[in-house]
Structures are given as C-alpha cells and as structure tokens.
Amino acid sequence: MIAWKQPLSGYEWLIHQIWYLEVEEGEVIDPKPHLIPNPRAHLLITPPEQRYQYESGEGRLSGFGSHLLTASEHLLLLEDTPPIKRIGITFRPEGLHILNSGLSASLNQCGWFDWLTPLFDVAFQESLWRDTSKQGLSLAIKRHLDGLNLEPCTSKPYRMTQTVLAAMDQQLVDIHRPLLDVEELAQLCLCSRRTLERSFKQIVGLSIKQYQQMSRLEQMILALYQRNSEVDWTAFSQQFGFSDQSHLIRTLKQQLKTTPNQYLKSRDLTIDVYGDFE
C-alpha cells in the first residue's frame, strides 16, 4: 500500500488536505474501514473504471470513476476491492460554497455533479496521474487552482461562518471547556441567533449543532486511535465533556454503532476517506 496525506500550501483557506492511496491487487483490506460522520467534502479522483461504494445503513452510494462525497451525518462502510488508485482533495467545511455559491442541500450526497466539470474536467484529472508523488500532485493541484482564480468569499454570511468555525475549532484545542452554545456564538458575531443559524447552514450545509457533534466525535476517535495503552474511560469521558462513562458509551453507540471497547479491538473507524495513514 502507498498512502500519504498533507496540507496544500497557499490554499489552507479552501483545502483541509490532499492525499493519495494505492492498494495493489491481492492486498487484503481487513477490517473494512468505516468513515465517521464528517463535516468536510471529499473530491476523489480515480480511474473511470474503478468502482466506489459506501454503505450508510440507510442506503448505498455507489458508482464508477471520480466523484464528490459531501459532508455526511452517517457512518459509512467503505466497500473497496483492490486494485485501488485514489487521489483525494478534502475541502474545508465552507469549501464547497467557494466552488459553487449556488450549491444547496449538500449533505449526504455522492456522485459527479454537473457543476464540477468546468472546475475539474477530464484533462485536469488525467494530468494528475503523470506524477503521484507528494510534490508532483501538490504542484499540479496548486497550478490548477491558481488558474481558477479562486478567492475567499466576502459575503457577510461567509465571514460570520468563518468567525464561528474559528471559534469552535479553537475550542477543540481546549477540550476541557464546554461547547459554546449558539447564543454565545451569535454574540461573537454581533447578530441574532436566527441570522447566524441561517448563515451557517447556507455556507456549510450543516447546523451548528451538527458541526459541533461531528467535530467532537472526530477528536474523540483521533484520541482513541492514538492510544496504545489501556484507556481510563472515566477520565476520557470527562475530558470530552460527558457527564459520565455511560453517557459517552450511549453517544458512541448511537453515532457509530459500536462501543469504545469494540472500536479499540477493531480500529476500523476512520476520519479521512481511507483512514489515518501515519
């Protein structure tokens, strides 16, 4: 398996990271990974004959070739069969609004949409396969984005959303603090709660509460992923703002269909589309 991920210098305001995955025929993917509920959209560039399939428990998202997987509130099982070649561009939560300000209802969608073609046409996709090294892909993607002349949006809803995202992301650094509620975030933006909620949903496609839940879940899974020793579940629950261990377990079972101990045995939950590579 060849796998790496990294930020894209100069486009941190649009792109969370770019990544590459290659799995040769005959390699075994076991257990099959699950993508946790995720507030970011992923553009996946693949050979046209390569199949993709995501099982949500409520339906199947499948097809062939390159596709966009938008923010998802479901746990997705990745049903992949080697050989696999995949180039990924993971956007920031507000990234799709920059690419297409008229986009609406972007949650839980997967496919190749008409508005993507003028931005990422076949010629661009084919050019990426000439050099799939970190440097080669970074240069090719950056050169292409430079040609699109993309810039951060200047609308009031976008600026408010960025303020709120920055505040919530900063709060994740200090996970001992309780989550900011919508009223506090609205005061930060000098606007009403209703205005903020409407603006955030317009730009991100998620409610503020949905985004907070996904972000906290992501931090918890990352923390568990990095643990090699036995976990003190009482301390872990308090660390992430749960009233007790039972509350933590109920939340994980509801959102991930598994308990913390079951996850530690399988470690099949991922934050990126294909796991945390390091």
Q: What is the pTM of this model?
A: 0.90
Q: Please check the confidence at residue 175 and state whether its pLDDT lies above 90.
A: no
Query: Residue 277's pLDDT is what?
Result: 45
Higher pLDDT, 37 or 66: 66
β-pairing, 34-35 with 42-45? unpaired
Could you say which of 1.10.287, 2.60.120, 3.30.920, 2.30.30 is the CATH number of the domain covering 2-148? 2.60.120
Structural contact between residues 31 and 78, judged by C-beta atoms closer than 8 angstroms: no
Query: Residue 174's pLDDT is what?
Result: 67
Q: At residue 101, what is the residue type? A: S
Q: Please check the confidence at residue 132 and state whether its pLDDT lies above 80.
A: yes
| Domain assignments of the chain as residue spans, ordered by start | 2-148
- Cα torsion at 106, 197, 150, 137 (round to 10°)? -60
Distance of CA 125 to the CA centre of its chain: 21
Q: Which two tokens stand for residue 187?
A: 């005061």
Q: Please check the confidence at residue 275 and state whether its pLDDT lies above 70.
A: no
Q: Please check the confidence at residue 147 and state whether its pLDDT lies above 50.
A: yes
Confidence category of residue 196, pLDDT binned at 50, 70, 90? very high
208-225 vs 156-173: helix crossing angle, rounded to 10: 30
CA-based end-to-end distance of the chain: 12
Give, as one character, the DSSP assignment of residue 231: P
Query: Residue 278's pLDDT is what?
Result: 42
Helices (H) and strands (E) in the chain, counts: 10, 11
Which residue reads 């746990």 in tokens?
A: 75
Query: Residue 276's pLDDT is what?
Result: 52
Give, as one character, the DSSP assignment of residue 57: S
* pLDDT-above-90 percentage for the chain: 57
Q: At residue 97, what is the residue type? A: H
